[in-house]
Amino acid sequence: MNVAHESGSLVERDLFEPEHDAFRATVRRFVEAELQPYHAEWEKAGIVPREAWRKAGALGMLCPTIPEAYGGIGADWLYAVVVIEEITRANVTGPGFMVHSEMVAPYILAWGGEALKREWLPRMISGEAIGAVGMTEPGAGSDLKAMRTSAVREGETYRINGQKTYISNGGQCDILVLACKTDPAAGARGVSLIAVDADQPGFERGRRLEKIGLKAQDTSELFFHDAIAPTGNLLGEEGRGFTQLMTKLAQERLSIGVKGMAACEAAIRWTVDYVQERDLFGGKLGDMQNTQFALAQLAAEVSQGRILVDWGISRFMAGRLTPTDASKIKLLVTELNGRVVDQCLQFFGGYGYMSEYPIAQAYVDARISRIAGGANEVMRQLIARDLFRRN
């Protein structure tokens, strides 16, 4: 199958410089040698070994944008894009690198105190420490204002009580960016972010949750029973958590768009390769007009999505990506991803329903993208709110 760029895109991309392409080649070799061969085992185990994290860290794949002062390589965000795209391209959905690098580290870097940053960021970059974000609760998903986990200040510490669920990397995390209420009576203005060290009394891990997809990515319940965090672990100021979340959620939603776009392009690549080999009615499945027209339509839509996502990447790197634009990207790409993998699976017939085929895994893994990072219904609400405010 002809592609326009080393990334596997259907259109020519002008975002990347030679150093990004060289990094992509290195990451691709690592993914193919160190992650892909073991992914089926990790799916059965429900978790990725820490050794894989450390190897990725040694290669510079974790938190590549963190400055050199904290042990990073101080790269631009395109290096993070390369990592997301290459892992997705290989259908390696287990390692929760995106949560670790694109959610946890940015919060600590942006709002953590100097001591906190020097304690945790070097360890996250090396893969020695794994990060998670604690937002969702049994009664509070997309509506973050409804969260009930509390942090009561007592002198130089916070006493934390409550629970979180559906926490990616929760079963292994060493550091957790916890969204909690420091002033329960203040609604959204009472939400704060606190970095919680998992190695302390009162922090308990619950079940490792069984999911229909992303089976190798550990997802857990977390409980807090008088868990303690020093006040120096507060990220930013008390009561600013909701604003901080809204700021960084734009990056998360763009990252989901980057991942979804790479998944679409991979699915089309697998399908084009398959239909050119599949014998049917004395010819090849790929020779049939219906096959060609259906895939041509998908290719056109995916090309359109690729242009949108690359525009979003450019805007983000220029500091100009708005939360509304990030919501639009997340909404359109994840809806497209679901449609692409569904139509591509159809061309595989019965084989496409077998878990051993990449398209089957991509099909079930794509479903979460319309929920994670804010349900797509919430994206529509945010976009509509901005639209009607403008008019």
CATH number of domain containing 359: 1.20.140.10
Amino acid 186: pLDDT: 82
Confidence of residue 1 (pLDDT cuts 50, 70, 90): very low
Tell me the residue range of the domain where 25 lies.
18-126
Q: Are residues 151 and 206 in the same domain?
A: yes
Cα 196 → chain centroid: 21
On average, the pLDDT of the chain sits at 93
Which of 294, 307, 290, 287 minimizes the C-alpha distance to 267? Answer: 294
Q: What is the mean pLDDT of residues 231-244?
A: 94
Last residue of a domain, one of 126, 145, 161: 126
Is the pLDDT assigned to residue 306 strictly greater than 70? yes
Cβ proximity of 31 and 90 under 8 Å = yes
Amino acid 231: pLDDT: 96
Cβ proximity of 315 and 321 under 8 Å = yes
Query: Could you give the percent of the chain with pLDDT greater than 70?
Result: 97
Q: What is the mean pLDDT of residues 182-200?
A: 91
Residues 6 or more apart whose CB falls under 8 angstroms from that of 25 comprise 6
Amino acid 248: pLDDT: 87
Last residue of a domain, one of 193, 217, 238: 238
What type of residue sits at position 260?
Answer: G
Is the pLDDT assigned to residue 92 strictly greater than 60? yes
Q: Are residues 373 and 254 in the same domain?
A: yes
Q: Are residues 85 and 106 in the same domain?
A: yes
Whether 8 is in a domain gets the answer no
pTM: 0.93
What type of residue sits at position 300?
Answer: A
Q: What is Dmax (Cα atoms) for the chain?
A: 79
SS3 category, 246: helix
SS3 category, 114: helix
Amino acid 4: pLDDT: 56
Q: Are residues 386 and 272 in the same domain?
A: yes
Last residue of a domain, one of 75, 98, 126: 126
Whether 367 is in a domain gets the answer yes
Amino acid 2: pLDDT: 45
For residues 164 and 180, give the distance between their C-alpha atoms in angstroms, rounded to a whole number: 10
Q: What is the mean pLDDT of residues 274-301?
A: 94
Backbone dihedral region for residue 91 (phi beyond 0: left; psi -120 to 50: alpha; all else: beta): left
Whether 7 is in a domain gets the answer no
For residues 41 and 347, give the distance between their C-alpha atoms in angstroms, rounded to a whole number: 27
45-49, 227-231, 279-283 — which one is most confidently predicted on average? Answer: 227-231
Active site residues: 252
Total of domains in the chain: 3
Q: What is the mean pLDDT of residues 53-72?
A: 96
Q: Are residues 294 and 366 in the same domain?
A: yes
Q: What is the mean pLDDT of residues 309-337?
A: 97
Is the pLDDT assigned to residue 356 strictly greater than 90? no
Q: What is the mean pLDDT of residues 328-337?
A: 98
